[in-house]
Amino acid sequence: MQGKTARYKELMTTSIAQAILQGTHCLRKAGVAEARREAGSLAAHVVGRNRSFIMAHADDSLTAEQLDTLRAFVERRAQGEPLQYLTGHQEFFGLDFEVTRDVLIPRPETELLVETAVKLLSNSEAASFICDVGTGSGCVAVTLLHELPHARAVASDISPA
């Protein structure tokens, strides 16, 4: 009987759109606030493309391996694992940062801190020196250096990661 099930499963195909709908349903049941967006982000991550590609190719089929990976990610997200730890990325101030469980996920509130620092430091005639202790993902120091090209920075963290 298991052989028939395996063969039947091989014959079934699931489009990206169908997989996202299934993921959305699962995440909504788990109380994830932005279930549709997060299911789409997980699908994009599994396929290795951006969300625009996913929308433009919604009728494309996922491979069995992609579908299994997506289902596993949706289940982990439904159990409360942050999306950013699943995808390994978080956008911050328009830049993409790698995140792991070793770092805190960059928050929108921290963007306000960076925005304020940029406003204060951009008016300075002297080159700015930034010290970011407990840098984690490095988002604060890297973003400040990106926004203030004449600044210099030192960033440190206790984690070897």
Question: Would you state the pLDDT for residue 11?
Answer: 46
**CATH number of residue 53's parent domain:** 1.10.8.10
pLDDT, one tens digit per residue, over 125-161 is 788 899 999 999 999 999 999 999 999 999 999 987 6
Residue 161 lies in a domain: no
pTM above 0.75, yes or no: yes
Q: Is there a contact between 74 and 26 (Cβ–Cβ < 8 Å)?
A: yes
Round to whole Å and give the CA distance between 67 and 73: 10
Q: Which domain holds residue 126?
A: 89-156
Task: Say if residue 18 is in the same domain as residue 47.
Answer: yes
Taking CB atoms within 8 Å and a gap of at least 24, the contacts of 54-63 are 54/16, 54/20, 57/16, 58/15, 58/16, 58/17, 58/20, 59/15, 59/16, 59/17, 60/15, 60/16, 61/13, 61/14, 61/15, 61/16, 62/13, 62/14, 62/15, 62/16, 62/19
pLDDT, one tens digit per residue, over 58-81 is 999 999 999 999 999 999 999 999
Round to whole Å and give the CA distance between 122 and 157: 26
Last residue of a domain, one of 83, 110, 126: 83
